[in-house]
């Protein structure tokens, strides 16, 4: 779609929260990474978002990926994602991570189409220290993150992409 504009400043918190809400994307800590949002705009309407968090020097974690239902399958998420990959490379990261609920098949297909690899429980434990203290999911999920033997049951899938 060539009438979509991508903007990296002028972040409208209320519009972002609405978009995430409508698309059932976790939003409680958006303020912590509001400065990292890239937005897809159709005129004045916010139709897509992506953000990220950097944890230490090795973890570049994609956050808040959402595209309005009426604008899907037109490459908007791909464009947002490509912009984040370019930024991650520029900032010296060699791997990008993303997480989603195991049941969210749509976004899993998206990440798999972008060649992300779903980490096995052992890989997750060894390579993804954030998981041991699951900061961005509700507390009820924490037991899965803290006990290695339970990782296979974790409702969250963590993806990794070598860049």
Ligand X SMILES: CC(C)(COP(=O)(O)OP(=O)(O)OC[C@H]1O[C@@H](n2cnc3c(N)ncnc32)[C@H](O)[C@@H]1OP(=O)(O)O)[C@@H](O)C(=O)NCCC(=O)NCCS
Residues forming contacts to ligand X in the complex (CB under 6 A) are: 23, 25, 65-67, 72-78, 100, 104, 106-107, 109-110, 113
Q: Which residue has the tokens 């930024």?
A: 87
Nearest residue (CB) to ligand X, 88 versus 107: 107
Q: Could you tell me the smallest distance in angstroms from the CB atom of residue 16 to ligand X?
A: 13
Q: Could you tell me the smallest distance in angstroms from the CB atom of residue 55 to ligand X?
A: 17
Nearest residue (CB) to ligand X, 95 versus 148: 95
Q: Could you tell me the smallest distance in angstroms from the CB atom of residue 63 to ligand X?
A: 8
Nearest residue (CB) to ligand X, 109 versus 150: 109
Structure tokens at 32: 């912590």
Measure Cα distances from 120 to 28, 57, 92, 102, 125 in Å: 27, 22, 25, 13, 9
| 25 backbone dihedrals φ, ψ, rounded to 5° | -105, 140
Q: Could you tell me the smallest distance in angstroms from the CB atom of residue 89 to ligand X?
A: 19
Torsion of CA 18, 35, 65, 128, to 10 degrees: -130
Q: Where are the alpha helices (DSSP H) in 12-162?
A: 13-22, 76-90, 105-113, 121-127, 142-146
Nearest residue (CB) to ligand X, 91 versus 109: 109
């Amino acid at each position: 779609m060539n009438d979509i504009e991508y903007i990296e400043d002028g972040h409208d918190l209320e519009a972002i929260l609405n978009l995430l809400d409508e698309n059932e994307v976790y939003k409680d800590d958006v303020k912590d990474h509001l400065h990292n949002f890239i937005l897809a705009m159709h005129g004045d309407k916010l139709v897509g978002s992506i953000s990220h968090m950097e944890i230490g020097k090795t973890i570049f974690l994609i956050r808040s990926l959402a595209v309005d239902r009426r604008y899907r399958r037109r490459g908007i998420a791909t464009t947002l994602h490509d912009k984040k990959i370019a930024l991650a490379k520029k900032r010296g990261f060699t791997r990008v991570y993303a997480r989603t609920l195991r049941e969210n098949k749509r976004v899993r297909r998206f990440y798999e189409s972008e060649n992300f690899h779903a980490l096995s429980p052992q890989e997750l434990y060894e390579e993804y220290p954030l998981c041991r203290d699951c900061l961005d999911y509700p507390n009820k999920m924490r037991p899965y993150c803290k006990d290695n033997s339970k990782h296979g049951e974790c409702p969250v899938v963590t993806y990794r992409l070598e860049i």
